[in-house]
């Protein structure tokens, strides 16, 4: 059983809250934590890849060497806003999650 299963008891978790298995982020759907979601304007994107490099959750999707026409993996995006902050062309906007879901 994973040490961080949603129903794990405190005594089933690893001592000190460490994550003993590296590279396991893909197993965890963290999109439900998000208050804001990134929306990318592919038309203005210059494919500099800054958003892809800096995203801490590897949620910027890439096709070949391009993110221009790819999406954002909202199951793994936590809504931190780093991608929007680093985009030199201001192509990524953070929008309210509840409003985005309602649309």
In the bound complex, what is the minimum distance in angstroms from residue 55's beta carbon to ligand SF4? 3
Choose the binding region for ligand SF4 from 2-10, 20-28, 75-83, 95-103 (rule: CB under 6 A): 75-83
φ, ψ of residue 15 in degrees (nearest 5): -55, 135
Q: Which of 5, 19, 24, 59 binds ligand SF4 (CB under 6 A)?
A: 59
Q: Which is nearer to ligand SF4, 47 or 63 (CB)?
A: 47
- 């509840």: which residue's tokens? 98
Q: Which 8-state DSSP code applies to residue 102?
A: H
In 3D space, the residue among 72, 71, 66 whose CA is nearest the CA of residue 46 turns out to be: 66
The values of phi and psi at residue 27, to 5°, are -80, -10
31 binds ligand SF4 (CB under 6 A): no
Q: Is 63 in the site for ligand SF4 (CB under 6 A)?
A: no
């Amino acid at each position: 059983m994973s040490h961080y299963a949603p129903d794990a008891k405190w005594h089933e978790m690893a001592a000190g809250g460490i994550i003993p298995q590296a590279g396991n982020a893909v197993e965890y759907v963290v999109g439900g934590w998000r208050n804001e979601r990134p929306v990318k304007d592919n038309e203005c994107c210059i494919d500099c890849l800054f958003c892809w490099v800096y995203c801490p959750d590897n949620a910027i999707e890439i096709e070949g060497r391009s993110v221009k026409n790819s999406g954002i993996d909202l199951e793994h995006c936590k809504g931190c806003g780093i991608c929007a902050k680093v985009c030199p062309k201001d192509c990524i906007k953070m929008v309210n999650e509840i409003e985005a879901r309602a649309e």
